[in-house]
Amino acid sequence: MEKRRLGRTDLDVPALCLGTMMYGDQISEADAVLQMDACFDRGINFLDTAEMYTVPPKPETQGESERIVGRWMASREVRDKVILATKVAGRSPAAYMRPEGGETRLTPEQIRFAVERSLENLQTDYIDLYQLHWPDRPMPLFGGVRTGYVHYQDKGVPIEETLSALGDLVKEGKVRHVGLSNETPYGVMQFLKASDEQQLPRVISIQNAYNLLNRSFEMGLAEIALEEQVGLLAYSPIGQGALTGKYLDGGNPPGSRKALFNRLQRYETPMADEAIRGYLTIAEKFGADPTVFAMQFVTTRPFVTSNIFGARNMDQLDVIFASLDLKWTDEMDAAVNELHGRIQNPCP
């Protein structure tokens, strides 16, 4: 398994990272254990979760992904061999996430509560990478706004205040490193500025969506990732399954995330089907499974530190593993970029 340096740290992480957001609902604990065992055996010792998971988020399953990961690490006695990433929720109306109710915010008090609970859930006394799941300031998220830029006057909890709270956790040894998620170029640079000017922890990664249908990371953030060593932990590499083609022409396979939760809207835009058909044709031209092709496109980008994947069952996991055997070529790049030039980022 290829290893890559995580930001400006001494941590080397595998090129693939196991995402666990479906653990505890769509994926049972028994199946999750099988997945984690299989990944660990393949050298994938980088696990990503969050305080709000499982997804879709709801009070009765909040934190269950962390608890499943924690029980697995304890039973296998592998905590010292796992690189563990989790997240604190950004601003949201999910009152059930906090004992006092109200909005989740990136205040020192809420960050302290969230990390202590995550440590308990995960049965560990430290977290390798603690990420801000999304910003505190209001902004369009998860492809929900497609009508152009919206500027908000509300700047949220000051970045310096949030970063200082994270710095306290680093000093206490509860968190080793900090990262961002669902951030913008402006946000990343503000965090880097605050760390430089106030001797606060430096963010080492950014976890954003990135795939053949959404290459918006390349417009600004990719340069930052490479120049500032804030590498991308790419999520949704196959577009929540859309790039397999299974949802084309209104497809809704039983057991799929769309069938269970109806949460595929980010990949149901006017130009999405045309782009998906194009990428399926390219994959077929090169004799590659569409999932293998989409995965390896992401994994081979120079600004990607690790490619976060999810799998519903062991068969899907085997396809993910197979992606590592696909040799990515200049001809593949040219074919992908030609289609991207005609249909750019249909699902941002």
Q: How confident is the model at residue 58 (pLDDT cuts 50, 70, 90)?
A: very high
Enumerate the active-site residues. Answer: 53
Domains defined for the chain, CATH in brackets? 3-342 (3.20.20.100)
Is the backbone peptide bond immediately before 108 cis, with ω within 30 degrees of 0? no
| 160-188: burial string, b at 16+ Cβ within 10 Å, e else | bebbbbbbebbeeebbbbbbbbbbbeebb
Task: Tell me the DSSP string of 176-200.
Answer: EEEEEES--HHHHHHHHHHHHHHT-
Strands 12-14 and 127-132: unpaired
Give the Cα separation of 203 and 60 in Å (integer). Answer: 32
Name beta bridge partners: 306: 233
What's the sign of the alpha-carbon dihedral 114, 217, 319, 343?
positive
> 16-25, 44-53, 133-142, 217-226: which range is least confident on average?
133-142
For the question of whether the overall pTM of this predicted structure is more than 0.85, the answer is yes
What's the whole-number average pLDDT of the chain?
95
> 161-165, 182-186, 260-264: which range is least confident on average?
260-264
- The whole-number pLDDT of residue 254 equals 84
Q: How confident is the model at residue 150 (pLDDT cuts 50, 70, 90)?
A: confident
Question: Phi and psi for 19 in degrees, rounded to 5?
Answer: -85, 135
Using one digit for the tens of pLDDT, what is the confidence trace for 307-338?
A: 999 999 999 999 999 999 999 999 999 999 99
